[in-house]
Structure 1
Amino acid sequence: MSLDAWISLTVVLAVFPLMAFSRLGPDIVLLGAVILLLTLGVIDPAQALGGFSSTGLFTVAFMYVLVASIRETGGIDLIIRFVLGRPRSESGALARLILPVASLSGFLNNTPVVATYIPAVLSWSRRLKLPAHRLLMPLSFASILGGTITLFGTSTNLVVHGLLVERYPDLAMGLFDLAWVGLPVALLGLLYLIVVAPHLLPSRRGTASAFENPREFTIEMEVDPAGPLVDRTVEEAGLRHLRELFLVEIERDGNVVSVVGPGERLKGGDRLVFAGTSDGAVELQQIRGLVPSRHGESSLEKEYKERRLVEAVVSDQCQFVGKSIRDGHFRTLYGAAVLAVCRGGERVAGNLGQVRLQPADVLLLEARPPFIERHRQSRDFLLISQVNGQARPKHEKAWLAWSILAGVVALATTGVMSMMNAAMLGAVLVLVTGCCSVGAAKRGLDTQVLLTIAASFGLGAALESSGAAATLAGLALGLADGNPWLLLIGSYLLVAMLTELVTNNAAAVITFPVVMASAESLGVSPMPFVVAVMFAASASFITPIGYQTNLMVHGPGGYRFGDFLRVGGLLNVLTAVVALTLIPLVWGF
């Protein structure tokens, strides 16, 4: 191999462990790798920036706007209220949940679908007296399976199809071509989730049980009207820097002061709510002017318009991962107070301020009402939902948003417009008709995914132009002994393994030139290999970190790493067997 090929291969091999095991986001890692290759002269500026002009990338971006319109108008909530109902058995509940989710995920990005469903499922499971962990993992897996049915189903399908069209313009696929394989894969996978998966899931406690009793993680005191703390600020009263406790809120005359600042002045009869350990009660009793609360009902069990109790799932990109809540100044940064932390279905005991956050931790927060909208699209949180919050009311424009999406699908299916043009037209229409505001559209764009896709193109170009892809293809052919079946299986397994460690888009785009070079060297059609890359990149069931929706349900469901391996491992094998059997029958070598 040439020096450029060795450099390209070294950089690519370094990228995968960095994305899998470092706290750097995949977009940062991949952009850094592209900059390094550009600096070393392995690729030129046109190749480095080629991803930003990809039709697949722009199609994904426009689809994000369409999905934002469905979400903003309450279109998904409308379906949730219609389909969940009151089933009589667990299998009936699973069917009512996963069949609509899989159908929606064939046309919408599955992350907002799952994000909208999770709060509804938590509330629904309480009404059914069914543990939430029996439903949340199937919810995530069903959304992944549904994404394999159409080209719109996942961003990976759109991006890989864009690469295919650039390389072989005459091999463009129709919107529903994948359904020949995707539909059998999805149906068998959903049947597995209803019949087999419940027997493999052990009993787990979720956040609902961990957070159900506020008295377990809060202490309430009152300001003695005749005591020395009256008219003192929180700072002057010594309540700002307690060792074991945080002052969360002040209940005063039927109202509440949430996320209390150090300059707030105390009044006689104020009811102070502290979060922390029971040992902290001793510290409070030593402060003159504070007496135990005489009220029976906990302040957190009351509803106030000035505050919200929300659950937030910590992202692996959160700047607080590895930091303690107190040292990171969580309350100052987010304007929200942490009441409790749930990890693996259990509330984290001990000094709350010293808890070091981990990915998939679920935080019970007290915040002001604007917090939810302000941080809903934050990279620090995978999911933010109001505790016991009701689904938003039906919006009068939900039907219009769904109609625009249906029109986009019809235009792309009939070939009147390309998928990118149809998605672009749909994005313009939802903005013009008011189904989605410009601000909501901006928030709906997942810039990390878009940058990851664009940067992946640069690495793929480096492998191809340097000759590294051809060399790797030669090694793959040698291992497969020139057998297209073995090469197809090997390609599928490679992408499926990488997608469990890094993002599915990066795994697909970086391996694409190697797989295509292998097919070309063998002199067979590239189509079976293209479709195998699409399905393998989506088959992310065995780890919570392999796919974002898995990480979203990991905390609220109280799952452990082994739960995904136990349930998802068999599902991975099932989807691989079905896909690898059908792909060559539909797209021959």
Structure 2
Amino acid sequence: MIPVLLSWARRCNVPPKKLLIPLSYAAVLGGTCTSIGTSTNLVIVGLQSTRYKGKDNFGMFDIAPYGVPYALWGFVFVVIMQRFVLPGNSSRYAKDLLLALRVLPNSPAVGKKLRDSGIRNSTGFTLAALSRNGVFNKVIDPESVLEIGDILYIAGELDVVEFVGEEYGLGLVTQEMERTKLDAIASGDAESTAFNETGASPYKKLIQVTLSLGSDLVGRSVREVQWQGRFGLIPIGIQRGNGREDGPLSDLVLAPLDVLILDTTPFYDETREEFKANFEKVRAIKDGAAKEFIIGVKVKKGSEVVDKTVSAAGLRGVPGMFVLSVDKADGTSVDSSDYLYKIQTDDTIWIAADVAAVRFLSKFPGLELVQQEQVDKTGTSILYRHLVQAAVSHKGPLVGQTVRDCRFRTLYHAAIVAVHREGARVPLKVQDIVLQGGDVLLLSCHTKWAEEHRHDKAFVLIQTVPNSSPPKNSRMIIAVLLVIGMILTQIVGGLKDKEYIHLWPASVLTAGLMLVTGCMNGDQARNAIMWDVYLTIAAAFGVSASLEQTGVAKEFANAIISIGKNVGGTGAGLIAIYIATAILSELLTNNAAGAIMYPIAAIAGDAMKISPRDTSVAIMLGASAGFINPFSYQTNLMVYTAGNYNVREFATIGAPFQVWLMVVAGFILVYRNQWQEVWIVSWTCTFGIIMIPALFGLLPTRITEPFESWMDRTAAKINPSDALRRYRSARLVRQHTNKSGAGSSFNDRDLDAIKASPDHSSDESRSPKKTWSLPWKSGNKA
């Protein structure tokens, strides 16, 4: 879901960070609705069955009366509070960068007024200035008509700005390109072409650096620095503020602690003393030279992408993927810069993609590989197909031959899907490629192919692509029916209060039938077994037994019992169990938290006459409550990496979410015997929360716009991240004020520069409102 959600977010102009944390929370909360929803639930079910020897067995949907309202109220919190606590386009890397984008010849924005182009309507960035024929203008008239070659200076995150460039036909401009163009205009050569006309990424590998306080670059303009000669670097962008107004990248004056985004050249070496003396906090952030394959996909009849632009079809904004061109069914071609062309049936879309993106494309509904006919001729059943990367040996028999001439498919029983060649984009037609040593072939072949050809002299390196088996659409209905059948056995048994077949043998039988009917092969079945989960479940029984036999569980259980007696009622005891488990889940893994807490909770539950099922429910809900720490749950960790979050951003929403669900769980556990009423209230409130925004959208804009504006201002004031930033900036100003009063070299101009720095501004408004003085220009060192 992560790549699909990222693509969808870009198309809808929604910050991906607004969606990825809710995606993780949805996966966690969804797992609390059935006993097979998470591995933790299976651990608790196993521990309960072992302890009570088959009495009061936990059914598949026994947790649903409590887990469904729990999930619904979690959804309500995210909907209500997303504006206030979810991060926007901030990241662990530099934000509010000043970047330059050039209007390409085939951009859909050419000839349109800026107001009507759609660029200003995109979210996550600010249009700071426009440069035309060397004239830099910060006051942009919305009625201005965009022309080819206009340079738009945009403030935002690199990922967001790049996506906007792809969406509207704008090419990223490096400082070197900008300087060349400005110099050409100054010399009267306005037709100089230093730009990348395709809009593809002009960089190789990007790094982020911070300019050291003692750097000899401070006080010099970007133009005056010999970036390539001294450091092997090319400036791409610079963070705004820090005591200066926006301007052309080449003319910006460097200041201490400036954050720069730089492209690397073959001469870049971060171990050089000169580099260390000028830069600190070096981070690698993007690899524009990642292994790239040219792959073609054909649009099938009835595909959902038909009559949509490439962007609307979801093929732009996907990490690691760039659309090159479209071959129409009539034999003509459409360049990637034609952003208005609508895809038709039998069109062939040529894409530059890394391995992960190729895997994504191979499973994209409505598209099939151009080489699919060759893949089918290998004779390998779809059940045993997957992708393999094979590097061609420099001294092997394949060098110097075309794919067609060497009869690769016949000789090796594999089809070449795409080819990667270092430093070059190979021709689009695979059959006519002349193979060279070092070429990396992306093959569709049998799952045993890599093992059979590991010692083949034609290849120097063979590596399988994980999870690259093509979707088996013809078996989809069979798989769905088998899963529904397994679930129905548990539903019918629950309704009639009779167990026809236990969940464990029902699951094994379903998996066996999937093997027999060709929904998966034996290797896929074995790889799907999560041995770490089984080992955790097995170890959980030992942990449970040791805690109980050593008396540790009894001591903790007595504390829970005393809470129940002092507060009154069994509900208080269950709440204590939930809170203790939730806290452990933030510190440990959810499986470990459940295993440690079960014997303690079971002893306390037995003493307080709480049913084993209710005790298990409290632990299941608590063990899944890992929301503050991104490392407490697998899904948190997945979106943490994909969204470039930091720990503080997770805690900003996770802490109030944890408190909210503690309150919700308390009500659910206290009123567990009236779960029908809890269901009715939960569904009614959720429906109401959904309908309010829908009805609000029907109101006239004269009412909605002031309200939205007020909500945005309120969100900015109470957002914890912004509040912390304002506090730090105010503290910094006070410190420098005290130093100034004590006779230090800081003066009012230093304070102005601090106030204008990025740390003193919110993410939404970092551009200084007036011209701030530069301390280093007047001899004062900050």
Give the TM-score taking structure 1 as reference length: 0.52
User: Which of 479, 483, 495 is residue 401 of structure 1 equivalent to?
Assistant: 479
Greater CA deviation, 565-574 or 492-501? 565-574
* Distance in 1 (alpha carbons) for counterparts of 2:445 and 2:594: 34
Partner of 1:529: 615
Query: Alpha carbons of 1:131 and 1:170: their partners in 2 closer, same or farther (altered >3 Å)?
Result: same
SS state of the match for residue 474, structure 2? Answer: coil
Q: Does 1:467 align with 2:547?
A: no
SS state of the match for residue 474, structure 1? Answer: helix
User: Which of 550, 556, 562 is residue 642 of structure 2 equivalent to?
Assistant: 556
* Distance in 2 (alpha carbons) for counterparts of 1:204 and 1:310: 26
* Distance in 1 (alpha carbons) for counterparts of 2:489 and 2:546: 35
Instruction: After superposition, give the CA deviation of every residue in 1:515-549 in whole Å (9 maximum; x if it has no partner).
Output: 11122233443333221001001111111101100
* Distance in 1 (alpha carbons) for counterparts of 2:293 and 2:441: 15
2:628–2:653 CA contact under 8 A, matched in 1: yes
The aligned runs of 1:182-581 (5 Å cut-off) are 182-204=67-89, 208-209=159-160, 214-218=201-205, 278-281=264-267, 303-304=294-295, 309-310=354-355, 369=442, 395-415=473-493, 416-478=500-562, 480-481=564-565, 483=568, 484-581=570-667
What letter corresponds to residue 628 of structure 2 in structure 1? I
Q: How many residues align?
A: 344
* Distance in 1 (alpha carbons) for counterparts of 2:627 and 2:473: 34
SS state of the match for residue 153, structure 1? Answer: coil
Instruction: After superposition, give the CA deviation of every residue in 1:80-127 in whole Å (9 maximum; x if it has no partner).
Output: xxxxxxxxxxxxxxxxxxxxxxxxxxxxxxxxxxxxx11111222222
1:532–1:580 CA contact under 8 A, matched in 2: no
User: Which of 16, 20, 23 is residue 132 of structure 1 equivalent to?
Assistant: 16
Query: Alpha carbons of 1:499 and 1:369: their partners in 2 closer, same or farther (altered >3 Å)?
Result: farther
Instruction: After superposition, give the CA deviation of every residue in 1:305-363 in whole Å (9 maximum; x if it has no partner).
Output: 89951469xxxxxxxxxxxxxxxxxxxxx999xxxxxxxxxxxxxxxxxxxxxxxxxxx
Q: Does 1:175 align with 2:63?
A: no
* Distance in 2 (alpha carbons) for counterparts of 1:481 and 1:543: 32
Query: Alpha carbons of 1:301 and 1:155: their partners in 2 closer, same or farther (altered >3 Å)?
Result: closer
What letter corresponds to residue 442 of structure 1 in structure 2? R
Query: Alpha carbons of 1:210 and 1:502: their partners in 2 closer, same or farther (altered >3 Å)?
Result: farther
> Larger relative contact order (C-alpha < 8 A, sep ≥ 6)?
1
Q: CA deviation at 1:279?
A: 4.8
1:311–1:385 CA contact under 8 A, matched in 2: no
User: Which of 36, 48, 56 is residue 152 of structure 1 equivalent to?
Assistant: 36
Q: CA deviation at 1:277?
A: 5.4
* Higher strand residue share: 2
1:149–1:178 CA contact under 8 A, matched in 2: yes
SS state of the match for residue 354, structure 2? Answer: strand
SS state of the match for residue 642, structure 2? Answer: coil
2:594–2:620 CA contact under 8 A, matched in 1: yes
Query: Alpha carbons of 1:308 and 1:564: their partners in 2 closer, same or farther (altered >3 Å)?
Result: same
Q: Does 1:118 align with 2:2?
A: yes
* Distance in 1 (alpha carbons) for counterparts of 2:444 and 2:353: 9
Query: Alpha carbons of 1:282 and 1:562: their partners in 2 closer, same or farther (altered >3 Å)?
Result: closer
* Distance in 1 (alpha carbons) for counterparts of 2:666 and 2:5: 34
Q: CA deviation at 1:298?
A: 8.4
Partner of 1:83: none
Query: Alpha carbons of 1:298 and 1:502: their partners in 2 closer, same or farther (altered >3 Å)?
Result: closer
* Distance in 2 (alpha carbons) for counterparts of 1:211 and 1:189: 34
2:548–2:599 CA contact under 8 A, matched in 1: yes
Query: Alpha carbons of 1:537 and 1:144: their partners in 2 closer, same or farther (altered >3 Å)?
Result: same
1:215–1:298 CA contact under 8 A, matched in 2: no
What letter corresponds to residue 192 of structure 1 in structure 2? F
Q: CA deviation at 1:204?
A: 2.5
Q: CA deviation at 1:448?
A: 1.6
* Distance in 2 (alpha carbons) for counterparts of 1:147 and 1:372: 36
SS state of the match for residue 303, structure 1? Answer: strand
Q: CA deviation at 1:449?
A: 1.9
* Distance in 1 (alpha carbons) for counterparts of 2:549 and 2:289: 66
Query: Alpha carbons of 1:282 and 1:436: their partners in 2 closer, same or farther (altered >3 Å)?
Result: closer
* Distance in 2 (alpha carbons) for counterparts of 1:178 and 1:309: 42
* Distance in 1 (alpha carbons) for counterparts of 2:486 and 2:581: 30
1:214–1:301 CA contact under 8 A, matched in 2: no
Q: CA deviation at 1:152?
A: 2.0
Q: Does 1:143 align with 2:37?
A: no
Q: CA deviation at 1:586?
A: 2.5
User: Which of 21, 44, 47 is residue 163 of structure 1 equivalent to?
Assistant: 47
Query: Alpha carbons of 1:431 and 1:211: their partners in 2 closer, same or farther (altered >3 Å)?
Result: farther
Q: CA deviation at 1:574?
A: 2.4
What letter corresponds to residue 204 of structure 2 in structure 1? F
Structure 2 unpaired stretches of 5+: 92-157, 164-199, 207-230, 234-261, 270-287, 297-350, 358-388, 392-438, 448-464, 494-499, 675-782
Structure 1 unpaired stretches of 5+: 1-116, 220-242, 246-275, 284-296, 313-333, 337-365, 375-383
Query: Alpha carbons of 1:369 and 1:497: their partners in 2 closer, same or farther (altered >3 Å)?
Result: farther
Q: CA deviation at 1:465?
A: 2.2
1:174–1:413 CA contact under 8 A, matched in 2: no
Bigger-Rg structure (1/2): 2
What letter corresponds to residue 294 of structure 2 in structure 1? E
Partner of 1:377: none
Query: Alpha carbons of 1:531 and 1:396: their partners in 2 closer, same or farther (altered >3 Å)?
Result: same
Q: CA deviation at 1:509?
A: 1.5
* Distance in 1 (alpha carbons) for counterparts of 2:617 and 2:515: 33
SS state of the match for residue 22, structure 2? Answer: helix
What letter corresponds to residue 481 of structure 2 in structure 1? S
2:292–2:354 CA contact under 8 A, matched in 1: no
2:293–2:353 CA contact under 8 A, matched in 1: no
The aligned runs of 1:77-116 (5 Å cut-off) are none
What letter corresponds to residue 646 of structure 2 in structure 1? R
Q: CA deviation at 1:409?
A: 0.5
SS state of the match for residue 505, structure 1? Answer: helix
Instruction: After superposition, give the CA deviation of every residue in 1:422-473 in whole Å (9 maximum; x if it has no partner).
Output: 1111111111111011111111112222212211221111111233222332
Q: CA deviation at 1:477?
A: 2.8
Identical columns (%): 33
1:527–1:587 CA contact under 8 A, matched in 2: no
1:528–1:587 CA contact under 8 A, matched in 2: no
